[in-house]
Amino acid sequence: MIPLILRLKRKEHKEIAKAQDLIVEELFNVFDKAILRGGTAIWRCFSGNRFSEDIDVFIPKDQQKIDLFFERLRQKGFEIEKKKISENSIFSKLKMNTSLVKFEAIFKTVKGVLSEYLTVDSNILTVYSFTAEQFVNGKVDTYLNRLKIRDLYDIFFLLRHIKQKELVKDQLNKLIKEFKPPLDKNNLKVIILEGICPTVEEMLTYIRRGL
């Protein structure tokens, strides 16, 4: 396997990915039952081909642990550019040198599954995340709500990891039935790491074949 760091062509992406690794490592050091979700989870836990710069998680609401988490990040060299804690979530911007990572946590207790998070050095961190089936079902609603091509690509990509097709059939049918073209279809080529950039029509055809 080619080390992840070598698959990243842009220096900016390499530096963001290194910063992500430090954040995820400290997150699970403090919140051992955190759940990694979103595009970065798909990229790192399913050997994805789409770069994602944000870190999205579920964590329990524990102010002492939240303070400890951000303090440990400071000790690692992060600058906390923004930190907003509300009743239900945290939104923050974490800067390491010139690299900026958005970190968003929702206060929610959710059961995840053990997953292998691939670092830029191709080492493995054991984390909690979701199954491919859970990601696909969530991504269908996300796509229909915001019509971003990266969400359609995530669905297309994750179908090869589906083990129980019956768990995603209803949501995929919903996607086909309610489908509207993405508003940003030209953006995909910027975040695909390797290989060709599939068209919207090609991805829809692939999804239909999976039904």
DSSP 161: G
pLDDT in tens, 108-131: 999 999 999 999 998 999 999 999
What is the pLDDT, as a whole number, of residue 3?
Answer: 74
What is the pLDDT, as a whole number, of residue 1?
Answer: 63
DSSP H helices in 147-192:
149-158, 169-178, 188-191
Segment 84-109 shows an average pLDDT of 96
Walk me through the domains of the chain, giving residue ranges and CATH numbers. 4-130 (3.10.450.620), 133-209 (no CATH)
Alpha carbon dihedral 38, 42, 44, 45, in 10-degree steps, equals: 110
Is a pLDDT exceeding 80 seen at residue 183?
yes
DSSP assignment string, 23-89: HHHHHHHH-TT-EEEHHHHHHHHTT-SB----EEEEE---HHHHHHHHHHHHHHT-EEEEEEE-SSE
Segment 128-138 shows an average pLDDT of 97
- Residue in 83, 123, 89, 117 with CA at minimum distance from that of residue 101: 83
**Are 195 and 49 within 8 A, CB to CB?**
yes
What is the pLDDT, as a whole number, of residue 186?
Answer: 86
Beta partners for 94?
A: 80, 101
User: H or E segment at 7?
Assistant: helix 4-7
Segment 25-34 shows an average pLDDT of 97
What is the pLDDT, as a whole number, of residue 191?
Answer: 86
Is a pLDDT exceeding 90 seen at residue 159?
yes
Is a pLDDT exceeding 90 seen at residue 132?
yes
Segment 136-149 shows an average pLDDT of 97
What is the pLDDT, as a whole number, of residue 6?
Answer: 77
